[in-house]
Amino acid sequence: MPKYVIEREIPNAGQLTQEELKGISQTSCGVLEEMGPHIQWLESYVTGDKVYCVYIAPNKEMVREHAQRGGFPVNQVNEVAAVIDPTTAE
């Protein structure tokens, strides 16, 4: 199944409290539970003004539907073409 990186512009995202991040995570997980097993949230990276989320889903439309249902912004949805790491150099 395809993997996607979602870019979300959220002003001051890096200043969100642990409690705020927990609430966002709970909302996301609730929507995912409603949508069924075909979409999975793997992890997210919180930076100054953006959050980058990694999802597995059958298509971009399902990723966007999750965001719409949860009230999350979506600035870009990019399908991962390949994953590299230091072992790629071996």
pLDDT digits 0-9 by tens, 38-61: 999 999 999 999 999 999 999 999
d(CA 35, CA 66): 8
Sequence letter at residue 39:
I
Residue 66 to residues 5, 6, 22, 48: CA-CA distances in angstroms? 14, 11, 17, 23
Sequence letter at residue 87:
T
Residues comprising the chain, all counted: 90
Q: How many helices (H) and strands (E) does the chain have?
A: 2, 4
Domains delineated in the chain: 3-89 (3.30.70.3090)
pLDDT in tens, 12-37: 999 999 999 999 999 999 999 999 99
**Six token digits for residue 37:** 């097993």
CA 54 to chain centre: 5
pLDDT in tens, 73-86: 999 999 999 999 99
